[in-house]
Amino acid sequence: MATRDTERGAGERSCVGAALVALVFVVGCSSPGEGAAARPLPELARPADQNPDPQVLEVQLEARMAEVEYLSGKRTEVWSYDGTVPGPLLEARVGDELVVHFRNNLPEATTIHWHGLRVPAAMDGTEAMQSPIAPGGTFEYRFRLEDAGLFWFHPHVRSDIQVERGLYGVILVRGDDALPVLGRERILVLDDVQVDAEGRLADPEDIGSMEAMTGRQGNVLLANGVKGAELEVTPGERLRLRVVNTATARYFRLGLPGRRMHLLGVDGGLLERPREVDEVLLAPGERADLAIDADGEAGEVWELLNQPYDRGHMTGGGSPGPVLQLRFAERPRLEAEPLPGMLRTIAPLPAPSATRRLVLTEDMDMGGGMGSGPTFRINGEAFPNVTPLETSLDAVESWEVVNETEMDHPFHLHGFFFQVAEQAGAPAPFLAWKDTVNVPAESSLRFLVRFEQHPGRWMYHCHILEHGERGMMGELLVQP
Ligand code: C2O
Ligand code: CU
C-alpha cells in the first residue's frame, strides 16, 4: 500500500488517499493548510560575513519579533533570529573562528546556546556561566569550531517558550566529511507548531498540565519553516539530507515507505561506516546525516514521512504525515557511485575512572490551582535546586542514565560528546559521537565521556524543553 502511494502523483493525494495510508502511517487530514500546493523547500538565509579573513566567520545576529509564513499565504507572528525561522545558516570549516555580534531586541532576556559545539563554558549560553542578555542588550560570542557536523543554536532561557516561538538556527561545520559521493546536500530543519487556520501560533505560555507533562506537540510539521515542502530531484541521484529536530517535544520517526536509506552520521559527525536503515528516530535536539538513493522515475513523488512514535503517555496517536516530498524531474538519469565502505575511524574511549548513575523521575502532581503541574527530577533534585556534579579535566567517566518514568526522555550533555556503550543492557551496535540520546521509558543506558579541554560549569538536561524547564536539568562542574 505504501508503495502504491509513492507512485501516485502528489496532485491526486486527497484526504481519501491519505486515509488509506493512515491505516499504516496515521496521516492526519485535519491540520490547517491541508491540500495547499507544495512549496519548494526553502534555502536557509546566510548572514553576511564581515571579516575578510577566510578563517573567520563574523556576523551580526539579532533576536527580534517577525512575521513568517508557516502556512502558505498566512502570516504567523514569531520570535526570530534575523527575521526568519529557522534563523540564518552559519557555515564554516573546522578550525575557523566564529564571531557573533548578538543583539537582543526581544521583550525578554535571552542567551544563545550552541548545541553540540565544543566551546569554552563561558560561550555556551547557559545561566551557569552567563547572565541572560536583557532586552536591548548585546553580547559577543567568539570561539573556534572544532568538529565537522551539523549543529544548531537556540536560547537557554525559558527555552520551552523561546524555541517554540521560533528561536533556532543551524551551524554547518565542514571538514573531511564533504565528499561529493555522499550526495547532493540539503539541510532539513524539522519542527512542529500549534497554529490555527489563520496561521496564528498558540501562545506557548498557555500550556495545561497534561501538555506540560508530555511536552507540546503541534498540529503542523515544518521543514525549514514551511508546511508542505517539496524538493525536486533528478532520477538516479543521491541526496544527502542533513536533518535536525528542533521541536520542543516531538520525536520525528522518518522513513520512505518501502525504501531504505543510508545513515551516514549523527550528532557529532560521520559514523565509521554507512548503515542501511528503514527509518530513523530523531528525538528533540538530535541530528541525522542521511543519504537517499533517489532511483525513481521522472514524475514520481516520494514522501519522507513522519510516522507515529509512542514515547509514553499516549503520544503515539495520529500525526501529520509527510515532512518533505521528493518530486522526480524530467531530466537525464544520473548514476550514483557506490558509497565508500569506510567514512572515518572513531577511537573508542578508554576505560572509565569513575561511574555515575543519574535517575530520571517524574512527579505527576496535577493538583490544579496556580503553579501546579508536573515536576521532573534527576537524582531526586529539580533544577534550579540542584547539587552540581563534580569532575576534573581529562577524566573519563561512565554515566548510567536510568529512566524510571513512563515516558522517553532525550538526555543532552553540553560541551562534550559521548559514546553510548550500552542500551537496555545490550552493547551499543556501533560507535558514534553523540550529544543527545533518547532514553526510552523504564529503560536505561550507559555512555562514556571524556571531559576534555573546557573546564567550567556545564549543563545536562532532558531536551523535551518543557521537561528541562520543569526541573529535569542538572549542572556539572569540570575542575581545571
Ligand atoms: Cu539544545 Cu541545553 O540544549
Ligand atoms: Cu523529558
Write the burial class of residue 325 (CB in 10 Å: 0-12 exposed, 13-18 middle, 19+ buried): buried
Which ligand has the minimum distance to the alpha carbon of residue 466?
Answer: 2
Report how far residue 323's alpha carbon sits from residue 191's, in angstroms, rounded to the nearest whole number: 10
Mean pLDDT of 5-34: 38
- Ligand 1 atom closest to 115 (CA): 1
Q: How confident is the model at residue 112 (pLDDT cuts 50, 70, 90)?
A: very high
Q: How confident is the model at residue 135 (pLDDT cuts 50, 70, 90)?
A: very high
Half-sphere exposure of 192 (CA within 13 A, CB side): 23
Distance (Å) from CA 464 to ligand 2 centroid = 5
pLDDT at 16 over 80: no
Distance (Å) from CA 31 to ligand 1 centroid = 29
**What does the block give as the cell for 5?**
502511494
pLDDT tens, position by position, 40-81: 999 999 999 999 999 999 999 999 999 999 999 999 999 999
Ligand 1 pocket residue status of 412, Cβ below 6 Å:
yes
Distance (Å) from CA 124 to ligand 1 centroid = 10
Q: How confident is the model at residue 367 (pLDDT cuts 50, 70, 90)?
A: low
Which ligand has the minimum distance to the alpha carbon of residue 152?
Answer: 1
Which ligand has the minimum distance to the alpha carbon of residue 438?
Answer: 2
Q: What is the mean pLDDT of the chain?
A: 91
Q: How confident is the model at residue 136 (pLDDT cuts 50, 70, 90)?
A: very high
pLDDT tens, position by position, 185-234: 999 999 999 999 999 999 999 998 889 999 999 999 999 999 999 999 99
pLDDT number for residue 448: 98
Q: What percent of the chain has pLDDT over 70?
A: 91
Interacting residues of 7 by C-beta distance below 8 A, sequence separation 6+: 300
pLDDT tens, position by position, 418-445: 999 999 999 999 999 999 999 999 999 9
- Ligand 1 atom closest to 460 (CA): 2
Q: How confident is the model at residue 310 (pLDDT cuts 50, 70, 90)?
A: very high
**Residue nearest (by alpha carbon) to ligand 1 atom 3:** 115
Distance (Å) from CA 406 to ligand 2 centroid = 10
Report how far residue 44's alpha carbon sits from residue 186's, in angstroms, rounded to the nearest whole number: 10
Ligand 1 pocket residue status of 13, Cβ below 6 Å:
no
Question: Near ion ligand 2, which residues have CB within 5 Å?
Answer: 409, 462, 464, 467
Mean pLDDT of 250-269: 97
Ligand 1 pocket residue status of 242, Cβ below 6 Å:
no
Pick from 274-288, 336-350, 362-376: least confident: 362-376
Length of the chain: 480
pLDDT number for residue 35: 54
- Ligand 1 atom closest to 468 (CA): 2
pLDDT at 39 over 90: yes
Q: How confident is the model at residue 314 (pLDDT cuts 50, 70, 90)?
A: confident
pLDDT number for residue 178: 85
Mean pLDDT of 117-124: 98
The more confident residue out of 16 and 315 is: 315
Distance (Å) from CA 468 to ligand 2 centroid = 7
286 close to 436: Cβ distance less than 8 angstroms = yes
Distance (Å) from CA 474 to ligand 2 centroid = 13
Ligand 1 pocket residue status of 113, Cβ below 6 Å:
yes
Q: How confident is the model at residue 176 (pLDDT cuts 50, 70, 90)?
A: confident
Distance (Å) from CA 330 to ligand 1 centroid = 43
Amino acid at 427: P
**Residue nearest (by alpha carbon) to ligand 1 atom 1:** 115
Ligand 1 pocket residue status of 240, Cβ below 6 Å:
no
Interacting residues of 472 by C-beta distance below 8 A, sequence separation 6+: 360, 376, 377, 378, 382, 383, 409, 461, 462, 464
Q: What are the Cα distances from residue 236, in Å, to 217, 288, 328, 332, 335?
A: 36, 22, 9, 9, 5
Ligand 1 pocket residue status of 287, Cβ below 6 Å:
no
- Ligand 1 atom closest to 436 (CA): 1
Ligand 1 pocket residue status of 262, Cβ below 6 Å:
no
